[in-house]
Amino acid sequence: MAARTDPADPRPRPVRRERIPRTAHRCRPDCAPPSPAGAARPAPRWLSVLNPLPGRAAVPGLLVVAVGTAAAAGIAHLVPFLNASTVAVVLGAVLVNTGLHRPVLQAGTHYAGHRLLRIAVVLLGLQLGLPQLVDIGLGGLVVVVVTVAVTFAGTRWIGRMLGLPRARSLLLATGFSICGASAIAAMREVADGDDEDTAVAVALVTVCGSIAIFLLPALRTPLGLDPAAFGSWVGASVHDVGQTVATAHRVPGALTSAVVVKLTRVVLLAPLVTGAALAARRRRPGTAAGTTTARRPPLVPLFVVGFLAAIVLTSTGLLPASAVHAASVAQTVLLTAALFGLGTGIQFRTLARTGTRSLVLALISWVLVAGVSYAGVRLVGG
């Protein structure tokens, strides 16, 4: 402590320091501190959607993503029992764990795992139509709603019992109960987890869905399901839309019912995300008097609004079949690219620390969605 003297009094006197008031700002390490008074406020987050193009720094990483996407599609074509989504996640994980994911690539792979995945979710809406809810019937709709509700609530509860982070449990519950990686992308902002939570959830739900392509057809005869009932079971239990089609395609006569039930299940994505967002906003009430708490999640992420708008557009019948088919192909390519980008967030060393509990939760959730949907299909009669 510095001191000063007075000519009349030689004893040193301590200098009083000006007390700086402590702020209540609390934030994650990667977010910006609060702006000083009078400073310009940053642009709202939703304005970034108006400029979706990547910057120049993302080009090297996006080139690697393109190569990885092509490689995943090629491997899946040469090895029919492999799914391109699964291969993409594995290739991304290999890239980062072998030390080949250099800093110059990170902007591009991050862009793919975030922005491209959101675009894929919007394009998924073009594969849905509200008239499909009529085709499924009341009994089928009840099976879908109950399966989603039980799987989602049960997975979250078991995740808490296992001591997993809230965000990871929420992402796994969403992926297994609705539509895999696309659903995880829609819930990501609400969950407020990190890239590792998202990558682990995507990897587990993708691997389980890929195994279902071979496991479920082998179980059809022992479980006593005719082709139509088997299709309904596949649509209500398999995660990704592409995996649902691949699974049902292995049993002649099962594809139509599988697709109708699956797409009806996907329609529940928006209300599920909205409900989770409302619950999160109650836990994080926002700004109180003189304090600042964690950022409240949006009521509905903007790209989920785009997903709903795409459903409405398809339901009008204004889009030609060729446009819907082109959107389906683009959605598949973008989803594969996004999964490659998300795969680069899987660190094997980190996964080994929490991976056992995550794997246990994923397997329980998979059994839950398959068991509840099977019971529903048998009760309704296919």
Within the chain, how many helices (H) and strands (E) appear?
15, 4
Tokens 């048998």 correspond to: 378
Tokens 């999640």 correspond to: 297
> What's the angle, vertex CA 31, arms to CA 29 and CA 34, rounded to 5?
115
pLDDT digits (tens, 9 = 90+) for 226-274: 999 999 999 999 988 778 888 888 888 888 788 888 888 888 888 898 8
> What's the angle, vertex CA 310, arms to CA 304 and CA 314, rounded to 5?
150
pLDDT digits (tens, 9 = 90+) for 183-204: 888 888 888 878 788 888 888 8
Please name the residues in contact with 271: beta carbons below 8 A apart, sequence gap of 6 or more. none
pLDDT greater than 80 at residue 19: no
- Mean predicted lDDT score pLDDT of the chain: 80
The DSSP code sequence of 22-90 is PP-B---TTSPPPPPTTPPPPPPGGGGGG--S--GGGHHHHHHHHHHHHHHHHHHHHSTTS-HHHHHHH
Choose the weakest-confidence range: 53-67, 158-172, 320-334, 346-360.
346-360
Q: How far apart are CA 279 and CA 269, in angstroms?
A: 16
Q: How far apart are CA 191 and CA 183, in angstroms?
A: 12
Structure tokens at 130: 């509200």
In Å, how far are 162, 170, 176, 205, 365 from 156, measured between CA atoms?
10, 6, 11, 15, 9
pTM listed for this prediction: 0.70
Q: How far apart are CA 378 and CA 254, in angstroms?
A: 15
Q: What is the mean pLDDT of residues 90-97?
A: 90
Q: Where are the domains of the chain?
A: 58-284+296-380
Structure tokens at 24: 């209540």
Q: How far apart are CA 140 and CA 184, in angstroms?
A: 24
